């Protein structure tokens, strides 16, 4: 199980940032979630192929690449409209 503080540390590590994480106690709807993959492994012969940190990093990088692509495309469109 990964806590929200651990998830925050994973996300901050992608940008090599060290920021204080202040946990603010509050109501907990779910105390924790565990993933028991024995049934899916038995029935479908499937298991996760990558660790959480690797998967989140892949999603993060894909999102940053996409955002960069959109930014470059908009910049090109602005330059074209300035020439007209």
In sequence order, what are the residues at sequence separation of 6 or more whose Cβ sits closer than 8 angstroms to the Cβ of residue 57? Answer: 14
∠ CA 70-75-77, rounded to 5°: 95
Supply the pLDDT for residue 38. Answer: 85
Q: Is the pTM of this model over 0.75?
A: no
pLDDT tens digit string along 38-76? 888 898 988 877 788 888 888 877 777 767 766 677 666
Q: Name the residue among 56, 57, 63, 1 with its Cα closest to residue 33.
A: 1
Annotated domain spans of the chain:
4-83
Q: Residues 6 or more apart from 47 whose CB is under 8 A from it?
A: 37, 40, 41
């Amino acid at each position: 199980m990964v806590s929200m503080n651990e998830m925050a540390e994973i996300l901050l590590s992608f940008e090599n940032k060290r920021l204080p994480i202040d946990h603010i106690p509050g109501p907990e709807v779910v105390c924790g979630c565990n993933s028991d993959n024995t049934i899916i492994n038995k029935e479908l012969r499937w298991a996760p192929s990558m660790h959480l940190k690797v998967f989140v990093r892949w999603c993060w990088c894909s999102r940053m690449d996409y955002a960069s692509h959109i930014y470059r495309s908009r910049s090109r469109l602005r330059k074209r409209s300035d020439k007209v």
